[in-house]
Amino acid sequence: EEWWYPACKCHKAVIPDSGAYYCNSCVKHIFQVIPRFKVKIEVSDGDSTAVFILFDSDMSYLMEKSCAFFVAQSKGLNDGWYPTEFESVVGKKMLFTIDNRLKQTVMADGSFRVKRVCLDPKIIETFCAEGPFMTPVKAMSQLIDVDSDETSDDVDAVPD
């Protein structure tokens, strides 16, 4: 499938129209488009698989190059071509944040839209250490009840 799409400067997809492109979001014709990533990847946790869609910023983060760089390389190649550099993500351990709004989460084809991706091994290990369905909890400082008349040892009380 296509791994990129032409976009307006507003980042929305455009459609070819009368020798230019039309942006439904801006409601106008544009003449210069910006290539943006839209890459589908199959993700496995060892037990099950799902298809995730990575858009421009996350894919640029993974590839360390812009979509425009890869599109320029692909000029003149057949439609089924995709960058061989994409193979570098195969087998990598990653952590994904998925949009939790149902409308945004599951795309029409059953794939999931990625909001953010992380490659930091320390952060990934924190999630893996707790088990498959646990999200690490950040330790918070002790709560102070500002409405209370009681004083505690760790709060300095100053008379009015």
Q: In 3-state terms, the chain is what percent helix, strand and coil (to 5)?
A: 20, 30, 50
Residues 109-144 have pLDDT tens digits of 788 889 999 999 998 888 887 766 666 666 666 666
Q: Is residue 11 part of a domain?
A: no
Q: Is residue 86 part of a domain?
A: yes
Which structural domain range is residue 125 located in?
37-129
Q: Is residue 152 part of a domain?
A: no
Q: Which residues contact 119 (CB under 8 A, 6 or more apart)?
A: 61, 62, 92, 94, 95
Burial degree of 98 (CB within 10 A; 0-12, 13-18, 19+):
middle
The pLDDT-based confidence of 86 (bands split at 50, 70, 90) is: very high
Backbone angles phi, psi at 142, to 5 degrees: -60, 140
Number of domains in the chain: 1
The pLDDT-based confidence of 146 (bands split at 50, 70, 90) is: low
Q: Is residue 25 part of a domain?
A: no
pTM of this structure: 0.71
Q: Is residue 5 part of a domain?
A: no
Q: Which of 15, 114, 122 is nearest to 57 (CA)?
A: 114
Q: Is residue 118 part of a domain?
A: yes
Q: Is residue 91 part of a domain?
A: yes
Q: Is residue 112 part of a domain?
A: yes
Amino acid at 47: D
Residues 12-43 have pLDDT tens digits of 999 999 889 999 999 999 999 999 999 999 99
Weakest-pLDDT range from 9-23, 46-60, 98-112:
98-112
- What is the C-alpha to C-alpha distance for residues 139 and 94, in angstroms, rounded to an integer? 24
Contact between 80 and 71 under an 8 Å Cβ cutoff? The reply is no
